Chains A and B, each alone.
Chain A
Amino acid sequence: MKKWLLKKWLEPLETALISVATRKGVKRWSEPLSTAWVGVVTHKLRSSLTMLGIVIGVAAVISLMSVGRGAEAQIISNIEQMGSDLITIRPGSFTFGGVRGGVSETLTIEDAETISEQVPYVSAVASSYSSNLQLVVGGENMSATVTGITPEYMQINNMKIASGASFSEQDYQRGAKVAVVGTNVAETLFGNANPIGQQMRMGTIIVHVIGVLESKGTRFNSPDDAVYIPLAAMQQAVAQPRTPQGGRIVSTISLTVSDQSQTQNVIDTITSLLRTNHKLTASADNDFNIMSTEEIASTLSETMGTMTLLLGAIAAISLLVGGIGVMNIMLVSVLERTREIGIRKALGARERDIWLQFLIEAAFLTFAGGIIGVVLGWVIAYLVSSMGLMTTVVTADIVILAVSVSICIGLFFGFYPAWNASRLNPIEALRAE
Chain B
Amino acid sequence: MIRLQDIAKVYPMGKRELAVLRGVNLNIEKGELVAIMGPSGSGKTTLLNLIGCLDQPTSGSYYLGGKEVSRLSSDELAQIRAQKIGFVFQTFNLLPRLSALANVELGMRYAGGSDPKRALKALDKVGLSNRANHRPTELSGGEQQRVAIARALVKRPPLILADEPTGNLDSRSGEEIISILTSLHAERGITLVMITHDAGIAHHCQRIIHLKDGQVVSEETV
Contact = CB atoms under 8 A, between A and B. Distances in A.
A and B: interacting chains: yes
Interface of A: 23-24, 27, 31, 38, 42, 339-340, 342-353, 426-427, 430
A354 to B, nearest CB: 9
Contact of B110 (A342, A348, A430): A348
A23 B112 CA distance: 11
Q: Sorted from nearest, which 7 A-B pairs have the closest CB atoms? A: A348-B82, A348-B110, A348-B81, A350-B78, A350-B75, A27-B113, A42-B97
Given A343-B94, A343-B95, A353-B110, 6 more contacts: A24-B113, A345-B54, A348-B85, A349-B109, A351-B78, A427-B54
B87 A350 contact: no
A351 B111 CA distance: 14
Contact of A346 (B74, B81, B97): B81
Contacts of B75: 350-352
B113 A345 contact: no
B83 A346 contact: no
B137 interface: no
Contacts of A345: 54, 78, 81
Residue of A31, A348, A430 with most chain B CB atoms under a 10 A cut-off: A348
Given A27-B113, A344-B106, A430-B93, A350 B54 contact: no
Contacts of A348: 78-83, 85, 110-111
Contacts of B97: 38, 42
A427 B151 CA distance: 19
Given A42-B97, A351-B75, A427-B49, A344 B54 contact: no
Interface in B62-93: 74-75, 78-83, 85, 87, 89, 93
Interface residues of B, number: 28
B98 interface: yes
Contacts of A24: 113
Contacts of B82: 347-349
15 contacts: A24-B113, A31-B113, A342-B93, A343-B94, A345-B81, A346-B52, A347-B87, A348-B80, A348-B82, A348-B83, A349-B109, A350-B78, A350-B79, A353-B110, A427-B54
Contact of A349 (B49, B55, B78, B80): B78
B107 interface: yes
B54 A426 contact: yes
B135 to A, nearest CB: 11
A119 B93 CA distance: 91
A351 B49 CA distance: 18
B99 to A, nearest CB: 11
B114 interface: yes
Contacts of B80: 348
Contacts of A342: 93
A38 B96 CA distance: 12
A343 B152 CA distance: 12
Contacts of A339: 93
Contacts of A426: 54-55
Interface in B91-139: 93-95, 97-98, 106-107, 109-111, 113-114
Contacts of A430: 54, 89, 93
A345 B95 CA distance: 13
A328 to B, nearest CB: 22
B39 to A, nearest CB: 20
A349 to B, nearest CB: 5
A347 B110 contact: yes
Nearest to A422: B74
A154 B27 CA distance: 105
A383 B92 CA distance: 56
A27 B52 CA distance: 27
Contacts of B107: 347
A42 B49 CA distance: 31
B152 to A, nearest CB: 9
Contacts of A350: 74-75, 78-79, 110
Contacts of B81: 345-348
Contacts of B78: 345, 348-351
Contacts of B94: 343
A42 B82 CA distance: 26
Residue of B49, B54, B79 with most chain A CB atoms under a 10 A cut-off: B54
B49 A344 contact: no
A175 B196 CA distance: 116
Contacts of B87: 346-347
A340 B54 contact: no
A343 B93 contact: yes
Contacts of B52: 346
Given A38-B97, A427-B49, A430-B93, A347 B79 contact: no
B40 to A, nearest CB: 15
Nearest to A340: B95
B114 A31 contact: yes
B91 to A, nearest CB: 9
Contacts of B111: 348
A311 B165 CA distance: 62
A158 to B, nearest CB: 69
A31 B109 contact: yes
